[in-house]
Amino acid sequence: MKARVHVMLKDGVLDPQGEAVRAALGHMGFSGVAAVRQGKVIELDLAATDTAAAEAEVKAMCEKLLANTVIEKYTVEIA
Query: Residue 31: which domain range?
Result: 2-78
Beta bridge partners of 7: 40, 74
* 44-54: average pLDDT: 96
Residue-level pLDDT at 68: 98
* 23-32: average pLDDT: 97
Whole-number Å distance between alpha carbons of 49 and 63: 21
pTM of this structure:
0.89
Beta bridge partners of 68: none
CATH of the domain at 55: 3.30.1280.10
Does residue 77 sit in helix, strand or coil?
A: strand
Contact criterion met (CB below 8 Å) for 25 and 36: yes
Side-chain half-sphere CA neighbours of 60 within 13 A: 6
Structural domain count of the chain: 1
Q: For the chain, give the mean pLDDT.
A: 97
